[in-house]
Chain A
Amino acid sequence: MTDNEHEIEQPDERVPKRVIGTPPPGTSMLGTAEVTQAEEEAPGVNLQDETKARKAEKIVAFCFMITFVAAIAFIISYVVFQVGSPEATGTSNMALGTSLTVAILSLAIGIVVWVRQIMPKYSLVQERHPMVSDEDVRGVVEKTFIEGANESGFVKRKLLRRTLLLGAAPLGLIPLVLLRDLDNSKMPGSQFNKLLRHTVWGEKTKDGKPRKLVVEGTGQPIRAADFNSPGGILSVVPEGYEHDLNALAKATLILIKFRPEELKSGVKQNWTHDGIVAYSKICTHVGCPAALYEQNTHHILCPCHQSTFDAADGAKVIFGPAARPLPQLPITVDSEGYLIAQGDFEVPPGPSYWERGDAEAEARAKGGQA
């Protein structure tokens, strides 16, 4: 049995004791401690082995030399590589970025080797004290506070106190009042939402004609007879407002050509022309342009949050977070055959807001079609 007991002791020496967690600083990967305690000068400060430190110094010096070279390379690259075309910019970016990265990283590596191999290992201890102040200190502060409050007369002199508060109250409002003119339109705030109800489609052009639909980008008016292949789609903006972002944010259209038999009851037929239907392109969810169209299914898809509208059925919502259909714009053709707006949208296009109300029901109550 004595042999047995001896065996129990054995694993102690044969097995590395540390089994979980990170090795302590100074333990090499192979398990033997390398920190020499011999030169210890203060408790908790373990100096490094001098031969190891000397080797480390060379590595650190090498790192710092790389930094020197790379930093010079950065300055040279700045002078040598000019910009001015995407290719040249790419080359310059690569040269500048690489030299900067190398310079900084090798400096960082050098310092880390310095700290870990040359500076001592520390395990110093410092006391903590509770954050709370001593009782007598708190007592003195409290006494001082009460004395000062009484000396100032703030407690005793009610008139002073009350008029001070009275005076300060409106002062606090001034910064808010000053922000009122952030809105440049100078109209009463209650009128803001009225602007959102109208788009430029409701206005005649300068010479009193109805506004033409023009293709986004080119500004070309659209002859109905030319827009004749079913499944065709155009992004359309109002004539005269091709570059007015405020107008475009509400008035941009998506124009789709259908075969007459494809149109379902949701589409207001007398707002179309020969199977051409115009919907607001501004999504009724949060206002992204609903720019994607799938010909086979007639689905309009907003790429931002994937609200999906059935273009053949009044752009009613069939999927996604949008709650309302894309408003349809009444269109027709002028005497030359160009597509024009009959009038404005019946309901406000774009995202919902507090003052919008159930504009769709309101429109139906008014008798629907313009």
Chain B
Amino acid sequence: MSDVLTSTPKAVSGPANFLDERLGGGAFLKRNLRKIFPDHWSFLLGEIALYSFVVLLLTGTFLTLWFKPSMMEIAYDGSYAPLKGVMMSEAYASSLEISFDVRGGLLIRQMHHWAALLFVAGMMVHALRVFFTGAYRKPREINWLIGVLLLTLALAEGLTGYSLPDDLLSGAGLRITEGVAISLPLVGTYITFFLFGGEYPGGDVISRFYSLHILLIPGILLALVSAHMVLMWVQKHTQMPGKGRTNQNVVGAPFYPAFMAKAGAYFLFTLGVIAGLATFTQINPIWIFGPYTPADVSAGSQPDFYMGFLEGALRIMPPWEINLFGTSHAGTLPLSVLIPALVPMGIIMTGLALYPFLERWVTGDHREHHIADRPRNNPHRTSIGVSAITFYGVLWLLGANDEIAANFHISLNMTTYAGRVLIFVAPALAYLIAYRMCLGLQRSDQAVISHGVESGVIKRLPHGEFIEVHTPPAEDMEAHLRGKEAVPMLPVAEDGAGIPPAGMRGPLGRLRARMSKAYGGEKIPLEDGHGHGHDEHAAIEHGEAHGGDEEHAAVGAGGDDRSLTH
């Protein structure tokens, strides 16, 4: 092995020395070059969003070199024959130019659109990962809030970008945006007149959306993404429970060289997949739809996927409208627009933002958490999350109810009626099912810990009975399962005189106590003790001697034998 580096090469030490003498970064690098990053597939989801954002910045910059954010009417004179001579905005004409007359323009435009979809999708699954593993808990609440803000801004960024090409489809989206904005009580007409520079559609909105889309929102996004990264770096990443992993350490691979290389490869994968999608999968073929006119719309107009839930909400809403003051010129509340536009988004975003604080209020848990929960081990949180996904999913599906009706030959009206029921029933049902599944999975963990795992070896006992021999689980898997921790609970027990503890007495306090009791506590203890017939054979080999009899008292509801090993 002669090719081993024994001293730093000049090419590195020279600049490094130059920088260190001026910036003094040595101490920082000493601490951080070998910073440990824990490994788990789910930790990669956020990186998809991060790298898509980088791709968006790069491809977006390319597009600005040709795009003209102007609504000035011109006659099209590009190479797309079917639209030759058609009057259209400069924005649309330049989008066509990028698509047909700039080499690589179509590729980059399609990459930009695909990256936008992947950006939002990556953020969503990343947020779900953080939610379901409780990684938003102290000390990470601030980073969670930054994340919620990022998601909201990404939707606004998507909306403004979608409108820029000024084709018929993007115009339909813009018209709906206007219809929603103008419905706002008191300020609706003012907001639309300020946004559009007068009556809809006016001649300003494209250039205004352009500056929002390429400067203001991405600037804020970039700042928040950086803050998100810095906080993650400073607070160190959470880790899944496992052997040797505690709340006071991080186990994993060092930043330099392994994590760095992996992250680089992962960026390239994201970029490569986006490029592949842009090559082989057509997206938003703006030339098909023609220029925007408020007089036309194409059937089957669909927004980008992340706006689908708002679209679905608008579609299933019953036709409610209130005129507070009758015929006088004020007081119209178009509830069939206001409710779907504001309520689902409000529930989801506000719910996300408040959840860490509500959970802390209910559990009274003020400790730092660096070990991620397995979703099954906090069943109510997981059920709330699944319920929210179902709520979102029903709205999202209903956003395409015309496609569903057409492809599955269902009456369109039936899909809407079904949606009006499902939006309430499905989340409740999802809650119950998810809760039961969590408990079932906890029982299966319990079975593994207290009875071992199936060995595949069948044994015949002297009296003729056949049993399957169970062996204790592998050490690291057992450590993974034993990472479970009971969900904390407030001290809710009443004292001898039946008086609840301070802070749990008013109506709000009683609610808090009841929620804490339901939310917290150990539902299925890991060890269910012995005494289940032939399962004792497994216990013979059980490495851990503790547990057993002391835990008998705790068996309670979970004590009936439902272990999955039978």
Contacts and interface: CB of A to CB of B under 8 A. Distances in A.
Nearest to B299: A303
A306 B401 contact: yes
B101 A351 contact: no
Interface in B401-426: 401-402, 412-413, 416
Interface in B444-476: 448, 453-457, 459, 469, 471, 473-474, 476
Interface in A316-370: 317, 319-324, 350-359, 361-362, 365
Interface of A: 7-8, 10-12, 14-15, 17-22, 24-25, 78, 81-86, 89, 92-94, 96-98, 100-101, 104-105, 107-109, 111-112, 114-115, 119-120, 122-128, 130-131, 179, 182-185, 189, 192-193, 195-196, 216, 235, 237, 243, 245-246, 248-250, 252, 281-282, 285-289, 291-292, 303-307, 317, 319-324, 350-359, 361-362, 365
Interface string B318-331: 11110101111111
A304 B172 contact: yes
Contacts of A108: 265-266, 268-269, 272
Interface in B252-283: 252-254, 257-258, 261-262, 264-266, 268-269, 271-273, 275-276, 278-280
Interface of B: 34-36, 39, 41, 73, 79-81, 87, 99-107, 110, 139, 172, 175-176, 178-180, 182-190, 193-195, 197-202, 204, 235-236, 244, 247-254, 257-258, 261-262, 264-266, 268-269, 271-273, 275-276, 278-280, 287, 292-301, 311, 314-321, 323, 325-334, 336-337, 340, 368, 370, 401-402, 412-413, 416, 448, 453-457, 459, 469, 471, 473-474, 476-477, 480, 537, 540-541
Contact of B336 (A10, A127, A130, A321): A321
* A contact patch SS: mixed
Nearest to B311: A305
A193 B331 contact: no
B297 A323 contact: no
A46 B251 CA distance: 14
B319 A322 contact: yes
A304 B301 contact: yes
A94 B301 contact: no
B249 A125 contact: yes
Given A321-B336, A352-B337, A126 B301 contact: no
Contacts of B79: 83-85
Given A108-B272, A184-B197, A321 B317 contact: yes
* B contact patch SS: mixed
A15 B454 CA distance: 9
Contacts of A317: 319
A96 to B, nearest CB: 5
A111 B107 CA distance: 25
A248 B295 contact: yes
A193 to B, nearest CB: 5
B329 A124 contact: no
A115 B473 contact: no
Contacts of A126: 35-36, 236, 249-250
Contacts of B370: 128
Contacts of A20: 448, 453, 473, 477
